[in-house]
Amino acid sequence: MQITVIVALALLVLTAIGFLVGRRRATRVASGQPSALHSLPSYYGYYIAIWTGLPALTLLFAYGSFGSSLVNILTMGELEREAAPLIRAYEADLSESPDYQTLNEALGQIETEIEATRNALEQARQARGPVDGYQRDLGELTLDRNDVSDAIENLREQIAFAVAARAPDSVAGHRARAGFEYWRARPDRRDLFIADARAIAFQEGFPSRVTPTLNAAGAAMVPWESLFRWSFAGAALALAVGGLTWARGQVSAGFRARNRVEGVISIVLFATSVIAILTTLGIVLSLVFESIRFFAAIEWRIHEFLFGLQWSPQIGIRADQVGQTGAFGAVPLFAGTALITVIAMCVAVPVGLFSAIYLSEYASPKFRSVAKPVLEILAGVPTVVYGFFALLTVGPFLREFAIFLGYEDAVTQSALSAGLVMGVMIIPFVSSLSDDVINAVPQSLRDGAYAMGATKSEAVRQVVLPAALPGIVGAILLAVSRAIGETMIVVMAAGPGANLTANPLESVTTITVQIVMLITGDQEFSSAKTLSAFALALVLFTLTLLLNIVALRVVERFRERYE
């Protein structure tokens, strides 16, 4: 790593030198008359600096991003080639082993029986007949299958061990064994293997274990790594020097350095905006792919996910449990999200809109100058503080109040308390956006209304608000999308129970709460339970994206009309 840092510093120095060289050269070409040059001397400096630094740094950056994976691929490919005899021997031993064949046949039989039982169960379910017997059978068969699979895995392990033992106890033998181990490993174990080997070879963190094979793999990486490191460092420096020399040769009085630099600037700006877009795209794609994994895990019953009425992803505790996939009907979450959002909007829209109307149409400049910043402070309160407020103040109060009114089942974590507090959180959002739109309504419309003999409230109600309506609708839609995506308040105040209810005094859960519950803590990212979080996130993302698009379109249309 150090060599790369040194090269990067050297490149920066070269770039600075390139600038000075370019400026000096330009001055000399102009022979003391700067007006003879097409551009100011410093532009020639920038031009040469760009040619010195940009390609070389790009190369170095590419090495930093992809260099180590390149090394890994090359090393492991080399080791796997060396392991070819072992692999051949292993495959031969496996196919010759009578136990292996018997076990495989047994496994095939059990799979067929499972399939048959499953079909029978499905039929019984549709016929609404008794299903308990089938379910018991299915459970036993699954246990059997797992036993046979374990036996097969053990046998493979034994044979592999025996084959590996046959390799000589030399460097070449360890290398072959490393390639063999890597070849047999599952993808996630492969990653771990490489990480451990790198840790041993380059002191990148601590290895999870140290074995002769890992040592051999690590040692095999070292030559590749140093080859790449030195050749990339050399190439970058050569590129820098070459760029400097070439660009210096370009400098002449008529050379349009200023326009060239301008061109590079626009390319750099374009590249940064592309990075922003690609990042977003990457996030979306990772969501999509993980969601696809989830849908595959629930056997593509997407309709069940979108329209199912029962949400209990935590059911599967043991892998061999019947129905271990859990129930992934997300409707209770959608309904809970909708309920809380509706409650929040019931608070935020009237209060936010009316305060915006008051501030922009009625308030004296003095009051406005105090009230606007105060509203904006409300927007700056961290949502976790709102969460406390909902959980410790509003929730208990609402519960007491509901009990006082005779509703005995009231709970502290209710949709109402989460919704009310979320509404308060969104007030400044609605009011500040609406205030902007109302202020954007031309004064001439108000004058027109007053000149017709309208009172203030008539002018506001009949002329200003209709004119501002598209913008206000846009503001409300943006607020809704914020309410849907809000997490902290609902995590603290709404509760985790996926109840399908329209009663605001009961506890409901939202999409965001469930994502938090599913992802936090120690989770393995291969079970349907954890993966369902990504599918939920995808739904959430799609929802807010659509709302934002609609809101922006509406606001844009408003802008076209009055500006």
Partner 1 sequence: MADIEFLDTSSEPRGDTLYHPVTVGYETKVATQGVSVRYGEKVALKDVTMDIPSRAVTACIGPSGCGKSTFLRAINRMNDTIDNAQVSGSVLIDGEEVNDRSVDPVVLRARVGMVFQKPNPFPKTIYENVAYGPKIHGLAGDRDQLDGIVETSLKKAGLWDEVADRLTHPGTSLSGGQQQRLVIARAIAVNPEVILMDEPCSALDPIATARIEELIDELRENYTLIIVTHSMAQAARVSQMTAFFHLGALVEYGPTEEIFTNPRDQRTQDYITGRFG
**Cβ(49)–Cβ(15) below 8 Å:** yes
Of the ranges 28-36, 93-101, 446-454, 479-487, which one interacts with partner 1 (CB under 8 A)?
A: 446-454
Minimum Å distance from CB 37 to partner 1? 47
Q: Using CB under 8 A as the criterion, what x/- string covers residues 364-403 for binding partner 1?
A: xx--------------------------------------
Q: Which residue, chain included where needed, has tokens 């990339």?
A: 232
In whole angstroms, the minimum distance from the beta carbon of 364 to partner 1 comes to 8
* Residue 549 Cβ vs partner 1, minimum distance, rounded to whole Å: 24
C-alpha span between 323 and 551 (Å, rounded): 42
The one among 40, 94, 131, 454 contacting partner 1 by CB under 8 A: 454
> Does 458 interact with partner 1 (rule: CB under 8 A)?
yes
CA angle 543, 544, 549 (to 5 degrees): 105
**CB contact at 8 A, 178 and 56:** no
Q: By rule CB under 8 A, what count of residues binds partner 1? A: 22
- Least Å distance between CB 445 and partner 1? 5
Distance in Å, CB of 446 to partner 1, minimum? 8
What angle do helix axes 171-184 and 132-165 make, rounded to 10 degrees? 170
CB of 371 to partner 1, least distance (A): 17
Closest distance to partner 1 from the beta carbon of 362 (Å): 12
- Which is nearer to partner 1, 128 or 366 (by Cβ)? 366
Site for partner 1 in 500-559 (CB under 8 A): none
Please identify, among the stretches 161-169, 453-461, 500-508, 514-522, the one whose residues bind partner 1 according to the rule CB under 8 A.
453-461
Strand, helix or coil for residue 33? coil
- By CB under 8 A, the residues from 146 to 185 that bind partner 1 are none
> Applying CB under 8 A, does 452 fall inside the site for partner 1?
yes
Of the candidate spans 147-155, 192-200, 254-262, 465-473, the one that interacts with partner 1 by CB under 8 A turns out to be: 465-473
- Nearest distance from residue 369's CB to partner 1, in Å? 14
For the chain, how long is the longest CA-to-CA vector?
104
Q: Does 447 bind partner 1 (CB under 8 A)?
A: yes
Among 380, 382, 453, 521, binds partner 1 (CB under 8 A): 453
**Closer residue to partner 1 (CB): 223 or 442:** 442
3-state secondary structure of 312: strand
Q: Is 415 exposed, middle or buried (0-12, 13-18, 19+ CB in 10 A)?
A: buried
Residue 414 CA to residue 394 CA, distance in Å, equals 10
Q: In terms of CB distance, is 416 or 441 closer to partner 1?
A: 441
Choose which of 64, 188, 466, 559 interacts with partner 1 (CB under 8 A): 466
Could you give the 3-state DSSP secondary structure of residue 210?
coil
Segment 497-500 long-range contacts (CB within 8 Å, at least 24 positions apart): 498/310, 498/311, 498/312, 498/332, 498/333, 498/336, 499/332, 499/336, 500/309, 500/331, 500/332, 500/335
- What is the nearest approach in angstroms of partner 1 to the Cβ of residue 466? 5
Cα-Cα end-to-end distance for the chain: 55
99 touches partner 1 by CB under 8 A:
no
The residues near 469 (Cβ < 8 Å, ≥ 6 apart) are none
Q: Would residue 548 be called left, alpha or beta, if left means φ above 0 and alpha means ψ between -120 and 50 degrees?
A: alpha
Does position 2 interact with partner 1 (CB under 8 A)? The reply is: no
Compare residues 94 and 445 and give the one whose CB is closer to partner 1: 445
Q: Which residue has the tokens 């051949």?
A: 88
d(CA 466, CA 448): 14
Position among 186, 451, 522, 560 found at the interface with partner 1 (CB under 8 A): 451
Among 100, 183, 450, 541, binds partner 1 (CB under 8 A): 450
- Closer residue to partner 1, CB minimum distance, 377 or 452: 452
Q: Which of 448, 553, 557, 559 binds partner 1 (CB under 8 A)?
A: 448
Residues 416-445, interacting with partner 1 (CB under 8 A): 442, 444-445
Name the region of 203 (left: φ>0; alpha: ψ -120 to 50; beta: rest): left
Shortest Å distance, C-beta 315 to partner 1: 56
Q: At what angle do helices 98-126 and 84-96 cross, to 10 degrees?
A: 70
Going by C-alpha positions, the residue among 484, 440, 59, 436 that lies closest to residue 233 is 59
- Per-residue DSSP letter, 281: H
Residues near partner 1 (CB under 8 A): 364-365, 442, 444-455, 458, 462-463, 466-467, 469, 561
